[in-house]
């Protein structure tokens, strides 16, 4: 390409405009400022909601604890104060879907009903009030509970909505989603289904993202798009989330098939997730404002709509994504036409480039082959950067994202720019800028097709930038020669589509998968850079072969070294920025008492063998953890309540009694033995586990609830959270006449007092995990 000073300036100007557009795109995703406690009564106020957060997040309130009962009373009294009809559902919930472990819990859900004036169906606004055993749950799910309490207040003070609105504050979500399961399987209010709106938090900050929907979501997404003041949602998130091992209460509603609905959470600041640092003081009240304002608008929107047809999946899945503060959406059946159009448009660009610029198909094909390199290299480089950071700061090994990731994220973006600009500088002379641009857009089009086939909700991410980039490229090439300076305009318009789609994606992917999986954000950043290559070209000097001037200047000096430096300059600048960002990140993000390095430790005692072990899920334990664990090992076979141990070490035997298993009745008829027993912990515990070792269980009732057939059989086991204080009643029918061996264990929280335990030093904290600080005591009984 030949640059004149004017075309170069136009190109650089266009790049600057696109950079500004990228900032604006990201800016529009950021949470609003918190509304003060004095905000009008019909509006959502983070100032008011935060008072609930402070109350709920003042203590650890794991399911079954007195602190959880205290939170429950507070929720019920608050709802009653707003004039809602309330009740406590006292039930036993189960989770048959969590791998091979069948889990149950004794739960107490708080339910508040705001009756509608002419109900067309029920709207369920859901959040869980329990916390993880080591966490204050200020955000998770103090945010959801407080948002819904403030929502209930605003709705109760305004005109009565059309539909029945049911506020469900579930118990034991962290344990096994058992509160939600008990509600959907046993509460009469849930029998006819309805629309479910679930509110969660997996961090302390960032935009509240609507990340999960029921299937065939056109109708519910439509209400979201028109109702919420701060829409942040993408159909791609639904696809990504389905591939992650995470679950929320929403899963239990979805699995019944009776409910449709939406699931929202804010997810940045993930180091607090499930850890003792998840305190009210760590909450970004802007995130609470966005979460709650959207919750109120959504609940109101559904409460006032005709939802008679909405509680069943109807229509189709939509494609949707945020663009400059609004939600763009179109029906899923357009995914394939757009993907096909993108392929055709890139093909047309190749034809036009051949006619206008003599770019042979061979060269364009070469560009296509070579454009894969920056996509792959960007992702690889982002992962290598994380490995380097972990090597420098070992505490990162047990985190998915650092405490203050901002500079590192900027570093990843600069690293991607370095990769793309280096690749471009090395190849542009040999193949020409257009061949590389066509090849790059070709890959975006191919990705659009691959997404359409495997994750249709994400196809827009690649297909639309490819389509817009190719159309912009065709328009630029079609410009008459005298209008060269205007070539940047269609290129900028085409690039703008890539920017408004991909810049928010990069921004949302960083917290979604963390810097530990920075490859995802890096890949989307690389796609964005590749989509604007024809404008990137204006950063470079005109290649020698394209120049009409003689290679040697008249004074005899050789301009080649100078040009080589100018060719390398963009990549060098990006590389220098990468280093500057990463070094700043390392200086800014240091571990301290408030933001500690996570360390996970458990203690397991087998009363049968009289042996005890320290156990950690950390595969790269830090120096404090290494005082206890000495080598790689997995205790899952001996202590199944510890699901993913990685390191173990010998421990002193603590004076802790194993749970008792006492037979209360025992009858045999034929080959069937019916055995009733009570498993009674002899210390204060959070969970009880029972396993039948050598007989087939054909029927089982635990704490009054009979188990589904999927839970029965040869390797029967049940993990019970929040067991009754008087012991867990179990009735088993087994295919055996002789003695039956059962292994029982219980689990409590807190390692203080265990012999050999030394507290963490300053700067080392408790890792956010459902098993952190767990103390397990096991015994086997012959019954």
Residues forming the site for Zn ion (CB under 5 A): 140-141, 200
Query: Least separation, in Å, of the C-beta of 173 and Zn ion?
Result: 6
Q: How far is the CB of 128 from Zn ion (least distance, A)?
A: 6
Choice between 143 and 382, CB closer to Zn ion: 143
The C-alpha atoms of residue 357 and residue 359 are separated, in whole angstroms, by 5
CB of 140 to Zn ion, least distance (A): 4
Closest to Zn ion by CB, 149 vs 539, is 149
Q: Please state the closest distance from residue 297 (CB atom) to Zn ion, in A.
A: 22
| 186 DSSP 8-state letter | H
Q: Closest approach of Cβ 779 to Zn ion, in Å?
A: 33
Q: How far is the CB of 141 from Zn ion (least distance, A)?
A: 4
Nearer to Zn ion, 171 or 200 (CB): 200
User: Which CB, 140 or 277, lies closer to Zn ion?
Assistant: 140
H, E, C per residue of 386-449: HHHHHHHCHHHHHCCCCCCCHHHHHHHHHHHHHHHHHHHHHHHHHHCHHHHHHHHHHHHHHHHH
Residue nearest to Zn ion (CB): 140
Q: Which is nearer to Zn ion, 200 or 746 (CB)?
A: 200
CA distance 335 to 338: 5
CB of 135 to Zn ion, least distance (A): 10
DSSP 725: T
Residue whose CB is less far from Zn ion, 151 or 198? 198
**Least spacing, CB of residue 429 vs Zn ion, in Å:** 54
Distances (CA, A) of 25 to 22, 65, 208, 478, 500: 5, 45, 16, 30, 6
Shortest distance in whole angstroms from residue 3 CB to Zn ion: 55
Using alpha carbons only, what angle is made at residue 83 by residues 82 and 87, rounded to the nearest 5 degrees?
Answer: 105
Q: Residue 110: which residues within 8 A CB-CB, separation 6 or more?
A: 72, 75, 76, 79, 86, 88, 129, 168, 169
CA 342 → CA 72, 375, 467, 472, 713, distances in Å?
54, 18, 4, 12, 53
Q: How far is the CB of 5 from Zn ion (least distance, A)?
A: 58
Question: Cα–Cα distance between 165 and 147 in angstroms, integer?
Answer: 15
Using the structure block, give the residue that is written with the tokens 């817009």: 468
Taking the complex as a whole, the smallest distance from the CB of residue 171 to Zn ion amounts, in Å, to 12
Nearer to Zn ion, 172 or 526 (CB): 172
Rg (CA), the chain: 30
Tokens at residue 341, please? 């159009």
Tell me whether residue 196 or residue 497 sits nearer to Zn ion (CB atom).
196
Q: How far is the CB of 722 from Zn ion (least distance, A)?
A: 16
Q: Which residues pair with 217 in a beta bridge?
A: none
Query: How many helices (H) does the chain have, and how many strands (E)?
Result: 19, 24
Quickly count: other Cβ atoms within 10 Å of residue 562's Cβ.
Answer: 12
d(CA 167, CA 175): 21
Q: In terms of CB distance, is 120 or 248 closer to Zn ion?
A: 248
Residue placing its CB nearer to Zn ion in the complex, 162 or 274: 274
492: its two tokens: 């900028």
- Judging by DSSP bridges, how do beta strands 728-735 and 741-749 pair with one another? unpaired
Nearer to Zn ion, 95 or 141 (CB): 141
CB-based contact 260:253 (threshold 8 Å): no
The full DSSP string for 64-109 is: TSHHHHHHHHHHHHHHHHTT-EEEEEEEEEEES-STT--EEEEEEE
Which CB, 140 or 537, lies closer to Zn ion? 140
Minimum distance from residue 137 beta carbon to Zn ion (Å)? 8
Please choose, from the candidates 196, 463, 431, 500, the residue with its C-alpha nearest in 3D space to the C-alpha of residue 335.
463
Peptide bond just before 141 cis, omega within 30 deg? yes
Would you say 175 or 604 has its CB closer to Zn ion? 175
């Amino acid at each position: 390409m030949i640059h004149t000073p004017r075309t170069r300036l136009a190109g650089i100007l266009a790049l600057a405009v696109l950079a500004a557009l990228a900032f604006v795109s990201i800016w529009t995703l950021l949470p609003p400022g918190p509304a003060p406690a004095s905000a009008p009564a019909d509006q959502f106020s983070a100032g008011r909601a935060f008072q609930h957060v402070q109350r709920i997040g003042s203590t650890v309130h794991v399911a079954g604890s007195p602190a959880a009962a205290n939170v429950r009373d507070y929720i019920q009294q608050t709802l009653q104060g707003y004039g809602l009809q309330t009740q406590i559902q006292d039930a036993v919930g189960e989770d048959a879907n969590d791998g091979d472990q069948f889990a149950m819990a004794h739960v107490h859900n708080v339910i508040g009903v705001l009756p509608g004036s002419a109900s067309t169906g029920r709207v369920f606004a859901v959040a869980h009030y329990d916390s993880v055993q080591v966490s204050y749950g200020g955000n998770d799910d103090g945010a959801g509970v407080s948002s819904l309490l403030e929502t209930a207040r605003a709705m109760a003070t305004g005109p009565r909505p059309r539909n029945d609105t049911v506020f469900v504050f579930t118990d034991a979500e962290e344990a096994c989603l058992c509160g939600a399961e008990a509600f959907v399987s046993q509460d009469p209010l849930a029998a006819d289904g309805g629309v479910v709106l679930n509110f969660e938090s997996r961090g302390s900050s960032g935009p509240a993202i609507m990340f999960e929907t029921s299937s065939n979501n056109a109708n519910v997404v439509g209400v979201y798009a028109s109702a919420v003041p701060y829409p942040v949602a993408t159909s791609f998130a639904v696809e990504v989330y389905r591939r992650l091992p995470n679950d929320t209460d929403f899963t239990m509603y979805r699995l019944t098939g009776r409910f449709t609905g939406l699931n929202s959470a804010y997810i940045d600041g993930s180091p607090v997730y499930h850890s003792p640092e998840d305190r009210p003081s760590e909450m970004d009240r802007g995130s609470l404002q966005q979460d709650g304002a959207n919750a109120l608008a959504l609940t109101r929107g559904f409460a006032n709509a005709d939802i008679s047809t909405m509680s069943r999946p109807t229509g189709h899945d939509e494609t949707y994504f945020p663009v400059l503060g609004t939600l763009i959406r179109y029906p899923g059946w357009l995914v394939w036409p757009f993907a096909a159009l993108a392929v055709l448009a890139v093909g047309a660009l190749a034809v036009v480039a051949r006619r206008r610029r003599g770019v042979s198909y061979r060269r364009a094909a070469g560009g296509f082959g070579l454009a894969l390199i920056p996509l792959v290299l960007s992702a690889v480089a982002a992962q290598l950067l994380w490995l380097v950071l972990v090597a420098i700061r070992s505490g990162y090994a047990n985190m998915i994202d650092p405490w203050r990731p901002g500079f590192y994220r900027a570093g990843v973006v600069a690293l991607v720019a370095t990769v793309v600009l280096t690749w471009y500088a090395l190849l542009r002379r040999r193949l020409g800028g257009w061949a590389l641009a066509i090849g790059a857009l070709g890959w975006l089009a191919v990705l659009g097709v691959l997404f359409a086939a495997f994750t249709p909700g994400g196809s827009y991410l690649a297909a639309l930038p490819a389509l817009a980039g190719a159309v912009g490229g065709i328009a630029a090439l079609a410009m008459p020669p005298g209008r060269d300076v205007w070539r940047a305009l269609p290129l900028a318009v085409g690039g703008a589509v890539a920017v408004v789609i991909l810049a928010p994606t990069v921004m949302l992917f960083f917290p979604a998968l963390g810097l530990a999986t920075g490859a995802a954000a890096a890949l989307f950043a690389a796609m964005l850079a590749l989509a604007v290559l024809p404008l990137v070209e204006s950063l470079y000097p005109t290649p020698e072969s394209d120049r009409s001037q003689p290679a040697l200047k008249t004074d005899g000096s050789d301009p080649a070294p100078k040009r080589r430096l100018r060719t390398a300059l963009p990549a060098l600048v990006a590389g220098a920025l990468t280093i500057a960002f990463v070094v700043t990140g390392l200086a800014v993000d240091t571990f301290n008492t408030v933001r500690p390095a996570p360390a996970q430790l458990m203690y397991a005692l087998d009363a049968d063998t009289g042996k005890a072990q320290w156990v950690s899920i950390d595969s790269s334990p830090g120096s404090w953890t290494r005082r206890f664990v000495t080598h790689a090992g997995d205790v899952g076979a001996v202590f199944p309540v510890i699901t993913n141990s990685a390191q173990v070490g010998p421990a002193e035997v603590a004076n802790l009694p194993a749970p008792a298993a006492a037979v209360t009745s025992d009858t045999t008829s034929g080959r069937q033995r019916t055995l009733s027993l009570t498993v009674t912990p002899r210390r204060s515990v959070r969970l009880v586990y029972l396993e039948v070792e050598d007989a087939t269980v054909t029927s089982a009732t635990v704490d009054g609830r009979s188990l589904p057939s999927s839970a029965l059989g040869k390797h029967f086991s049940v993990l019970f959270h929040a067991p009754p204080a008087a012991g867990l009643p179990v009735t088993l029918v087994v295919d055996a006449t002789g003695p039956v061996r059962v292994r029982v264990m219980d689990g409590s929280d807190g390692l203080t007092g265990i012999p050999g335990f030394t507290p963490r030093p300053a700067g080392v904290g408790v890792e956010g995990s459902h098993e952190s600080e767990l103390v397990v005591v096991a015994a086997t009984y012959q019954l």
